[in-house]
């Protein structure tokens, strides 16, 4: 018979065993067709340095490059992370969560991001348009997730929050944009319903 005696910290164990986590997002990436950054946002400490972030982006990009993620969002498991992704023209959208996260929740975040960007770029979802409207993309990321916590997943609502300020600032132009945005949203909704 054998005894193993060890002193352990009570608190430490409690943390691991009983912490019931809230759905959380580790990062959102928007890369171009060569894997270069258009806009990225990290919420987790898993990648502490810029070089580790770049390495992760490159890894994810090459691992998903050959898949067809243009009609439906695709999914894979890499290095114990779930990655949901979707491509449009020369843009690659990614959302990363931990491997025990609800995949469908993560997918809803990607869909929200994608829909909002589509609305904000007025259906011209490509790298040039995204860079020219980088302020909108960055605001969009800010409205979707706050410190890993999901803020909003509804694409049209996110887009509205991003553009809402222009109503006061410059009504004629932006109202038109918003009407356009809602038209696209309606169209998108009809498409989803008909599917």
Partner 1 sequence: MAQPLVKKDDDRDDEADYSPFMGIEKGAVLQEARVFNDPQLDARRCSQVITKLLYLLNQGETFTKVEATEVFFSVTKLFQSRDLGLRRMVYLIIKELSPSADEVIIVTSSLMKDMNSKTDMYRANAIRVLCRITDGTLLTQIERYLKQAIVDKNPVVASAALVSGIHLLQTNPEIVKRWSNEVQEAVQSRAALVQFHALALLHQIRQNDRLAVSKLVTSLTRGSVRSPLAQCLLIRYTSQVIRESGNTTQSGDRPFYDFLESCLRHKSEMVIFEAAKAITDLNGVTSRELTPAITVLQLFLSSSKPVLRFAAVRTLNKVAMTHPMAVTNCNIDMESLISDQNRSIATLAITTLLKTGNESSVDRLMKQITNFMSDIADEFKIVVVEAIRSLCLKFPLKYRSLMNFLSNILREEGGFDYKKAIVDSIVILIRDIPDAKESGLLHLCEFIEDCEFTYLSTQILHFLGIEGPKTVDPSKYIRYIYNRVHLENATVRASAVSTLAKFGASVDGLKPRIFVLLRRCLFDSDDEVRDRATLYLNTLGGDIEIDNDVSDFLFGSLDIPLVNLETSLKKYEPSDKAFDINLVPREVKSQPLAEKKAPGKKPTGLGAPPSGPPSTVDSYERQLLSIPEFANFGKLFKSSAPVELTEAETEYAVIVIVDASEAEEFSQVISKPLRSLPYDSPGQTFVAFEKPEGLPTTGKFSNILKFIVKEVDPTSGEAEDDGVEDEYQLEDLEVVAADYILKVGVSNFRNAWESMDPDSERVDEYGLGQRGEGLSEAVNTVINILGMQPCEGTEAVPPNSRSHTCLLSGVFIGGVKVLVRLSFGIDSTKDVAMKLAVRSDDVNVSDAIHEIVASG
How far apart are the C-alpha atoms of 150 and 126, rounded to whole Å? 25
The CB-of-173 to partner 1 minimum distance in angstroms stands at: 7
Residue 172 touching partner 1 (CB under 8 A):
no
- Given a contact cutoff of 8 angstroms between Cβ atoms, the answer to whether 182 and 142 are in contact is no
How far apart are the C-alpha atoms of 69 and 43, rounded to whole Å? 24
Instruction: CB nearer to partner 1: give 146 or 187.
Output: 146
Residue 85 dihedral angles phi and psi, to the nearest 5°: -145, 160
| Footprint of partner 1 on 48-107 (CB under 8 A) | 50, 53-54, 67-68, 72-77, 80, 84, 99, 102-105, 107
The CB-of-124 to partner 1 minimum distance in angstroms stands at: 11
Instruction: CB nearer to partner 1: give 165 or 186.
Output: 165
Residue choice 27, 96, 118, 153 for contact with partner 1 (CB under 8 A): 153
How would you class 85 by CB atoms within 10 Å of its CB: exposed for 0-12, middle for 13-18, buried for 19 or more?
Answer: buried
> Which residues, 6+ apart, have CB-to-CB distance to 91 below 8 Å?
30, 31, 32, 33, 38, 125, 126, 127, 130
Residue choice 27, 96, 118, 163 for contact with partner 1 (CB under 8 A): 163
Residue choice 28, 117, 136, 185 for contact with partner 1 (CB under 8 A): 136
Residue choice 31, 119, 139, 140 for contact with partner 1 (CB under 8 A): 139
> Which residues, 6+ apart, have CB-to-CB distance to 59 below 8 Å?
78, 79
Residue choice 55, 131, 183, 189 for contact with partner 1 (CB under 8 A): 131
| Footprint of partner 1 on 6-45 (CB under 8 A) | 6-8, 10, 12-23, 37, 39-40
């Amino acid at each position: 018979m054998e005894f193993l005696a060890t002193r352990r910290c009570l608190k430490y164990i409690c943390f691991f065993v009983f912490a019931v986590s809230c759905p959380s997002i580790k990062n959102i990436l928007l890369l171009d067709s060569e894997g270069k950054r258009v806009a990225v946002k990290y919420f987790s400490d898993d990648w502490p340095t810029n070089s580790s972030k770049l390495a992760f982006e490159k890894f994810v990009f090459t691992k998903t490059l050959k898949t067809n993620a243009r009609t439906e969002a695709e999914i894979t498991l890499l290095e114990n992370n779930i990655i949901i992704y979707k491509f449009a023209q020369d843009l690659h959208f990614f959302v990363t969560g931990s491997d025990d996260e609800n995949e469908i929740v993560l997918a809803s975040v990607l869909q929200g991001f994608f829909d909002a960007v589509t609305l904000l770029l007025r259906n011209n979802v490509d790298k040039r348009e995204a860079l020219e409207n980088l302020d909108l993309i960055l605001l969009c990321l800010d409205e979707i997730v706050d410190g890993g916590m999901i803020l909003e997943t509804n694409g049209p609502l996110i887009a509205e929050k991003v553009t809402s300020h222009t109503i006061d600032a410059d009504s004629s132009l932006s109202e038109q944009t918003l009407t356009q945005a809602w038209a696209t949203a309606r169209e998108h909704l009809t498409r989803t319903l008909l599917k």
